Amino acid sequence: MAKLTVRDLEVQGKRVFMRVDYNVPLEEKDGQMVITDSTRIVETIPTLKLLIEKGGRLILTAHMGRPKGKREATMSLAPVAVKLAELLGKPVTFVDDCIGDQVAKAVAAMKNGDVVLLENVRYYNEEEANDPAFAEKLAQVADVYVNDAFGAAHRAHASTEGVARLVAKRGGKCAAGLLMERELKFLGDELENPARPFVVILGGAKVSDKIKVIDRLLEKADTILIGGAMAYTFRLAQGYQTGKSLVEPDAVETAKSALLKAKAKNVKFLLPVDDVVATPVKTDKLDKKGKAIIEFQNPTTSPDQNVPEGTAGLDIGPATIKAYAAEVLSAKTILWNGPMGLFENKQFATGTNSVAAAVAEATQKGAKSIIGGGDSVKAINKAKLGDKVTFMSTGGGASLEFLEGTELPGVAALSEKTSCSCAH
Ligand code: 3PG
Ligand code: MG
């Protein structure tokens, strides 16, 4: 990797301003916000421990949710500070603001190895606007800058980009944390020259969300397996009936060109050969957004590529599972992004769970498996297979954009590794 990392950084006695992605899921229980998955916090611990060992003074900044410039009590990072202290086994000072006097005071009181966590940086609109004056305020306590927030690196915000630029301008170093380094290694370098066969599994609702990734991976993969609702847009492109399945008629041409490109590049491009279908019925129950909840009745396997009238395709069927598992088990490198069906509903989770199991088994047999963030990570964790894959990304949108080949602003702003004293 060409970017400077915390390993290269001299931090003894310095104020290390570090951006982390602690945007973890919270749930209200008895009037308290409780963290339901602390993966993103756990994954930064190695970076924090290294910097503490090196004698840095760590000032952590992060966002929670999308409060849009307001102090939303439910989006406070206070519960994260408690969890972090527990994981680090040392006190973490929580500061109720991310700029201003309170921050200056807390930082002035720090000793080497101390850790401070600042309140939600998105309580200020200037964060997402990447406002230079706001970045300047954040940067007041920064001698060096570290970014370990891979999950937020696709955002060009003040704390992910603006501060780094300011610190660099002053001659300070900006380094990637160990988590950031790992993400870039697995989602980037490892997929540049993958051991073959390289099998990619892509799912999710929309072709339009994934087309850039599909397009890029058609250059690299030996096999691409398609699942999720986006498979029905491909079916539409092939002239099949899709019933009440979720489809994007606007993306049919895009799907057609992906199919042509796969042929031209000699990439094995597999679509489901059977489905689990059910009849969607509107209930009079409303969801959190006030929309009628849809119930899916009479789930059955449909062996026909035409989805029966009045039903929607909601998962890949048994023949598809068998075919996809065989491909996965023959792979040396696996990349998975996106579920195979409506896996939040147990009736339609078999496809996703079976693919997860096949990925775990292939890994056991020596394949490298990389799980590209968001729902696929949720699915792997739900199946309790998290420790059976090679790497799981902590990024959702960020991992997708990175896989598309986009340069992430939070990465671009980091210092290059230069003046290397070694022999290359
Ligand atoms: C995420 O959870 O995807 C990241 O923390 C980024 O959050 P955002 O999508 O609100 O920018
Ligand atoms: Mg997001």
| Residue 397 designated active-site | yes
What's the CA-to-centroid distance between 64 and ligand 1, angstroms? 8
Query: Which percentage of the chain shows pLDDT scores above 90?
Result: 92
68 lines ligand 1 (CB under 6 A): no
User: 32-87, pLDDT tens digit by residue?
Assistant: 999 999 999 999 999 999 999 999 999 999 999 999 999 999 999 999 999 999 99
The pLDDT of residue 306 is 97
69 lines ligand 1 (CB under 6 A): no
Position with higher pLDDT, 111 vs 383? 111
396 lines ligand 1 (CB under 6 A): yes
Instruction: Give me the chain's average pLDDT, please.
Output: 95
| Residue 155 designated active-site | no
Res. 259: pLDDT tops 70: yes
265 lines ligand 1 (CB under 6 A): no
The pLDDT of residue 358 is 97
Angstrom distance (rounded) from CA 88 to CA 355: 35
Q: Which ligand is nearest to the CA of 21?
A: 1
176 lines ligand 1 (CB under 6 A): no
Ligand 1 nearest atom to the CA of residue 23, by list position: 5
The pLDDT of residue 421 is 46
What's the CA-to-centroid distance between 22 and ligand 1, angstroms? 10
The pLDDT of residue 2 is 86
Instruction: Return the amino acid letter for 208.
Output: S
Protein residues with C-beta less than 5 angstroms from the ion ligand 2: 396-397
Res. 131: pLDDT tops 90: yes
Query: Which percentage of the chain shows pLDDT scores above 70?
Result: 98
Check 49, 83, 90, 206 and give the catalytic one: 206
Res. 346: pLDDT tops 90: yes
Res. 420: pLDDT tops 70: no
| Residue 206 designated active-site | yes
Check 203, 204, 228, 374 and give the catalytic one: 374
The CA-CA-CA angle for residues 154, 101, 415, to 5°, reads: 35
The pLDDT of residue 419 is 57
Angle between helices 350-364 and 318-329 (to 10 degrees): 20
User: 273-314, pLDDT tens digit by residue?
Assistant: 999 999 999 999 998 889 999 999 999 999 999 999 999 999
User: Which of 20, 63, 160 is the pocket-test mutation for ligand 1 (most atoms within 8 Å of CB)?
Assistant: 63
The pLDDT of residue 378 is 87
66 lines ligand 1 (CB under 6 A): yes
Q: Which ligand is nearest to the CA of 152?
A: 1
151 lines ligand 1 (CB under 6 A): yes
The pLDDT of residue 409 is 98
Q: Whose CA is nearest to atom 11 of ligand 1?
A: 152
Structure pTM?
0.91
Range with the poorest average pLDDT among 81-95, 204-218, 317-331:
204-218
Res. 423: pLDDT tops 60: no
Per-residue pLDDT band at 241 (split at 50, 70, 90): very high
Res. 422: pLDDT tops 70: no
Per-residue pLDDT, averaged over 242-267, amounts to 97
Ligand 1 nearest atom to the CA of residue 65, by list position: 10
